Amino acid sequence: MSNYLIIGGHGKVALLAAPILVDEGHSVTSLIRNPDHVADVEATGAKALVLDIENASAEELADAMRGMDAVVWSAGAGGGNPARTRAVDFDAAVRSMEAAKAAGVSRYVMVSFLSSSLDHKVPEDNSFFTYAQAKAEADEYLRGSGLDYTILGPGGLTLEDPTGQVDLHQVDYDGDSSTSRANVALTIAAALRNPGSIGKTFRYSDGSTPIDSAVS
């Protein structure tokens, strides 16, 4: 049994990933900002921990991570406010990476998006620019952090049922990128199970390859 911390624990992906990990016999702690969401999180079998990552210090995050075997980043500002997007999707993400190192947690799984890249070509006057830039910089920071990372890059998220199958893509893939959140949850669990996923970035959409094979 392993101990996992999911950051962004009330997000749709996290609420699907937590019961998968719990059913596998692991102990899951889901970090959330809003205490009103405790019951939703605990219904998944996870323990809820209230901590606002936007304002939490690296020391507070490290305290939350001590004793964990892995950290999963599944948080996001949700767009709309560029300053908050930057504060959560880059600043808080980087603090969480440094906190993981301080807490002695080497395994880190990042949920990103399919086309995340420093060469994303999103113009600065596009409303998506701040998110694209923040995520790309956070991913790049993680690659150089020394952590045993896996970066998961699903395409456009849907609420479809899980299929357990995906197709892997290159960063410039421009076909149908629909990816069910349920499949993203399954890729989180598969990455944590599979040491062969360490040091790799997986860009994917719903497809025809079993998830465990895709992340091998």
The CATH number given to whatever domain includes residue 47 is 3.40.50.720
Q: Are 136 and 120 in contact (CB under 8 A)?
A: yes
What pLDDT score does 77 carry? 83
Tally of structural domains, the chain: 1
Can you tell me the mean pLDDT for 195-207? Answer: 98
Can you tell me the mean pLDDT for 7-29? Answer: 98
Domain range holding 114?
3-214
pLDDT grade for 78, boundaries at 50, 70 and 90: confident
What pLDDT score does 80 carry? 74
Can you tell me the mean pLDDT for 67-88? Answer: 92
Residue in 4, 108, 131, 149 annotated catalytic: 131
Provide the percentage of residues in the chain whose pLDDT is more than 90: 96
What pLDDT score does 42 carry? 98
Could you confirm whether 131 is annotated as catalytic?
A: yes
Can you tell me the mean pLDDT for 188-200? Answer: 98
